[in-house]
Amino acid sequence: MAYKHTNSKGVTYYLNSKEVTLRGGKQQTIYYFSKDERPETATDLPGDMEVNENPRNGFLTVKRK
């Protein structure tokens, strides 16, 4: 089951992750939110991360604790 978060405006977002290759060849996992459930990229919130909401527009981001 994917992590889901409802922002202050009442919109529910689902957390997704993806492995990307940076220009230097290093692999990194990126996290992003979507309004729809995507089973192929759905993920749980890692223990060392927390959800941050922009108070002006309600956009969600994931950052380290």
What digits encode the pLDDT tens for the residues 23-33? Answer: 999 999 999 99
Give 23-61 pLDDT, tens digit per residue.
999 999 999 999 999 999 999 999 999 999 999 999 999
- CA diameter of the chain: 40
- What is the span of the domain harbouring residue 11? 4-64
**b vs e for 19-50, b when ≥16 Cβ sit within 10 Å of the residue's Cβ?**
eeeeeeeeeeeebebeeeeeeeebeebeeeee
In the chain, the number of structural domains is 1
pTM for this prediction: 0.88
